[in-house]
């Protein structure tokens, strides 16, 4: 742009550059050109296949949804855009797209939950069933709780106690019937015994927390480590990155001319949709085609199956449940620490709750929980980095959804490799069978031709030998010696008629190369026989 006295003078754009957007209202906010692309992105190549292509149904990612360090900013899929590869894509997937809608009736099954009213008789019945399953004296159960006997106390036992034990008010009421213990029912007798334990309900909850703590840590730590490892694998796998570049190239080529063309990236969930794109002959899919291309031309890409080793384990991790478990663990620890601060000196010398819970458990549990929190924080950071790297919307994609998609695609790709191998083996088997059949047919025809040639040669040799012997006998006169000694025949029979059938075998066709020789010999022999017979 050059400024003059009359105003700005628009200069023509340099060769090959698009014209600038028009000035005026909304000019700067019009449709973005490649100058408006962030992070130095260049316009994507526009493919123009010669035939209509099957479409790859993917979810495009706009450049504005990417970060500066996003994978899609750094991709270079054009390095794979070889004419041979694009030609194979056009041949395999070049046809009109046919869409089939499968309508399935989905019946929602509603579970009817009957709401039960909790009454004292019901509580007594449930408590009676619980006590009958353990068959322990009530005072023995009380001792186990007071001493926090982890060898005898089990998680199911404490869970059932917490579930079926009467409320503290009911226990306090039952304590008044201590002198009438023998006349009480078994559930009420149990209530009387347990009523003397201070703060029974919180105590049972804390004991249950202690019994479950090691199992919770054992379950949470591998889940966090699996997600951390899977995030590193997905982010750092060069083979997986090259695979995404190939898919981006194929998708942009196949979607040429549609709204999904010239895409800068795609949502990772679209990988599982490759199997839904059928070839023109309906015999293969884009997934199998991609696996074949990688196997034949880019074998290092196949290594991503081994690189993403932990995505399957990470797909079974629920980030929501993980956070709930950590929050629940924190609440239980805080409640235990508060209760221990207000815990009065025990009246019963066998009461070991404070000693075992405050000294041998609380500090260790707090340390292990702090380590889990640090690990979980690192996991969230790594996961957010992966989402940002691949421009995945964190509001739409959870941890288990992301890794489930990657795990499913990894399994489908490995299965496609196996199916391609079986198909090649089957085709090779059929090819060998056809070759063997053709070879056997050729050998059969050769044997028949050889047999016919041998018969013709033998027939020719036989006919030649007969003629030679006959000519020799005629020339030497041996053929007429015996006839002169015979008695004369009647005159009417003296003249011998030689019919063509008498020497038909001499006149039958022979080999082409010697037909003229045999014909001359036959004529000569017939004339000699005729003249000789006349003399006779």
Please give the distance of CA 62 from its chain centroid, rounded to a whole number.
Answer: 27
> Could you read off the pLDDT of 228-241 as tens digits, one per residue?
999 999 999 999 99
Instruction: Name every residue whose Cβ is closer than 8 Å to that of residue 351 and which is 6 or more positions away in sequence.
Output: 146, 147, 198
3: pLDDT strictly greater than 70: no
Name all contacts of 152-159 with Cβ < 8 Å and 24+ positions apart: 153/207, 153/211, 154/211, 155/208, 155/211, 155/212, 158/204, 158/207, 158/208, 158/211, 159/208
| Domain 218-399 is found in CATH 3.60.40.10 | no
Rounded to an integer, what distance in angstroms lies between the CA atom of residue 297 and that of residue 292? 8
Rounded to an integer, what distance in angstroms lies between the CA atom of residue 434 and that of residue 440? 10
> Could you read off the pLDDT of 465-508 as tens digits, one per residue?
666 676 776 777 665 555 555 555 555 545 554 555 544 444 45
How buried is 505 (Cβ within 10 angstroms: 0-12 exposed, 13-18 middle, 19+ buried)?
exposed
Residue 508: CB atoms within 10 Å: 10
Highest mean pLDDT among 167-176, 329-338, 464-473: 329-338
H-type alpha helices, 487-535: 504-507, 515-535
**68-74: average pLDDT:** 87
Rounded to an integer, what distance in angstroms lies between the CA atom of residue 134 and that of residue 141? 10
**In terms of pLDDT, which residue wins out, 1 or 381?**
381
pLDDT in the model for residue 525: 52
Rounded to an integer, what distance in angstroms lies between the CA atom of residue 234 and that of residue 279? 29
Rounded to an integer, what distance in angstroms lies between the CA atom of residue 79 and that of residue 73? 15
Rounded to an integer, what distance in angstroms lies between the CA atom of residue 513 and that of residue 456? 12
**DSSP states of 252-294 as a string?**
HHHTTTSTT-S-S-B-GGGGGGGGG-B-TTSS-BHHHHHHHHH
Low-confidence winner among 44-53, 431-440, 511-520 (lowest mean pLDDT): 511-520
Q: Which fold has domain 121-209?
A: Methane Monooxygenase Hydroxylase; Chain G, domain 1 (1.20.58)
The full set of domain ranges for the chain reads 121-209, 218-399
> Could you read off the pLDDT of 96-146 as tens digits, one per residue?
444 443 433 333 333 332 222 233 778 888 888 888 887 788 889 999 998
**89-99: average pLDDT:** 69
Low-confidence winner among 48-52, 302-306, 315-319 (lowest mean pLDDT): 48-52
Rounded to an integer, what distance in angstroms lies between the CA atom of residue 191 and that of residue 103? 60
| Residue labelled with tokens 């017979």 | 533
pLDDT in the model for residue 208: 93
Please give the distance of CA 512 from its chain centroid, rounded to a whole number.
Answer: 69
Rounded to an integer, what distance in angstroms lies between the CA atom of residue 42 and that of residue 21? 18
Rounded to an integer, what distance in angstroms lies between the CA atom of residue 207 and that of residue 423? 60
Looking at the DSSP bridge assignments, the partners of residue 53 are 94
CB 292 within 8 A of CB 214: no
- The mean of the pLDDT values for the chain is 79
pTM above 0.75, yes or no: no
Same fold, 121-209 and 218-399: yes
Rounded to an integer, what distance in angstroms lies between the CA atom of residue 32 and that of residue 262? 14
Highest mean pLDDT among 97-106, 233-242, 343-352, 525-534: 233-242
pLDDT in the model for residue 320: 92
**In terms of pLDDT, which residue wins out, 486 or 457?**
457
pLDDT in the model for residue 90: 85
pLDDT in the model for residue 273: 93
Rounded to an integer, what distance in angstroms lies between the CA atom of residue 235 and that of residue 158? 45
Low-confidence winner among 84-93, 227-236, 400-409 (lowest mean pLDDT): 84-93
């Amino acid at each position: 742009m050059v400024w003059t006295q009359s105003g700005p003078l628009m200069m023509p754009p340099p060769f090959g550059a698009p014209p600038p957007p028009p000035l005026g209202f909304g000019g700067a906010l019009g449709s973005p050109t490649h100058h408006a692309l962030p992070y130095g992105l260049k316009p994507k190549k526009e493919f123009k296949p010669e035939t209509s292509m099957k479409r790859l149904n993917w979810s495009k990612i706009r450049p504005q949804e990417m970060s500066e360090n996003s994978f899609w900013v750094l991709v270079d899929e054009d390095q794979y855009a070889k004419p041979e590869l694009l030609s194979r894509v056009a041949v395999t997937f070049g046809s009109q797209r046919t869409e089939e809608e499968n309508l399935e009736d989905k019946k929602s099954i509603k579970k009817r939950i009957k709401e039960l009213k909790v009454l004292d008789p019901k509580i007594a019945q449930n408590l009676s069933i619980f006590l009958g399953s353990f068959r322990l004296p009530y005072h023995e159960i009380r001792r186990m709780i007071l001493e926090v006997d982890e060898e005898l106390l089990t998680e199911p036992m404490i869970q059932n106690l917490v579930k079926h034990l009467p409320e503290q008010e009911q226990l306090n009421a039952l304590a008044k019937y201590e002198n009438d213990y023998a006349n009480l029912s078994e559930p009420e007798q149990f209530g009387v015994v347990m009523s003397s334990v201070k703060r029974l309900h919180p105590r049972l909850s804390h004991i249950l927390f202690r019994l479950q703590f090691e199992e919770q840590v054992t379950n949470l730590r591998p889940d966090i480590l699996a997600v951390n490892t899977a995030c590193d694998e997905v982010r750092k796998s060069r083979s997986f990155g090259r695979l995404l570049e190939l898919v981006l190239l194929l998708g942009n080529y196949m979607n040429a001319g549609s709204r999904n063309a010239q895409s800068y990236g795609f949502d990772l969930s679209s990988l599982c949709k490759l199997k839904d794109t059928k070839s023109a002959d309906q015999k293969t899919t884009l997934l199998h085609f991609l696996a074949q291309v990688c196997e034949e031309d880019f074998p290092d890409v196949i290594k991503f199956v081994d690189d993403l080793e932990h995505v399957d384990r990470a797909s079974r991790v629920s980030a929501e449940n993980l956070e709930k478990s950590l929050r629940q663990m924190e609440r239980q620890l805080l409640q235990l620490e508060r209760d221990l601060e207000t815990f009065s000196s025990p009246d019963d010398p066998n009461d070991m709750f404070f000693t075992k819970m405050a000294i041998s458990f609380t500090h260790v549990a707090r340390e292990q929980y702090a380590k889990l929190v640090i690990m979980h924080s690192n996991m969230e950071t790594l996961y957010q980095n992966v989402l940002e790297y691949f421009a995945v919307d964190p509001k739409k994609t959870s941890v288990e959804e992301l890794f489930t998609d990657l795990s499913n695609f990894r399994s489908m790709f490995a299965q496609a490799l196996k199916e391609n191998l079986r198909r090649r083996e089957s085709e090779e088997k059929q090819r060998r069978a056809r070759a063997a059949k053709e070879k056997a047919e050729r050998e059969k025809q050769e044997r028949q031709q050889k047999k016919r040639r041998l018969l013709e040669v033998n027939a020719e040799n036989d006919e030649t030998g007969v003629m030679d012997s006959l000519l020799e006998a005629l020339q030497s006169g041996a053929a007429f010696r015996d006839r002169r000694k015979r008695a004369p025949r009647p005159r009417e029979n003296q003249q011998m008629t030689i019919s063509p059938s008498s020497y038909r075998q001499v006149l039958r066709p022979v080999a082409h190369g010697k037909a003229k020789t045999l014909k001359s010999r036959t004529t000569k022999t017939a004339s000699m026989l005729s003249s000789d017979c006349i003399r006779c």
